[in-house]
Amino acid sequence: MINSDHKYWFTPYTLMKIAITAGYKIQNLYMVQSYHNQDYWYLVSKIAILRDDIVLVCSF
């Protein structure tokens, strides 16, 4: 059962802050447009802020 009341909206800043607090080292951050019916992401807009998804690459 899914509770649709619980939603999260992350910004690059808040996502990186959570990762750093948890002890991860940030390697890269990508703003992407993802399509769930495919196995890869591809970029739609040249303006990163107009993309829907954030991918954060970290190491521990």
Collapsing DSSP to helix, strand or coil, 57 comes out as strand
User: What pLDDT shows up at residue 20?
Assistant: 96
Closest CA to 29 of 49, 7, 9: 49
CB-based contact 41:55 (threshold 8 Å): yes
For every one of its 60 residues, what pLDDT tens digit does the chain have, with 9 covering 90 and above? 666 776 777 888 999 999 999 999 999 888 877 655 556 655 555 667 777 788 899 998
Rounded-to-integer distance, Cα 26 and Cα 24, Å: 6
- Please state the length of the chain: 60
**Domain map (residue ranges) of the chain:** 9-45
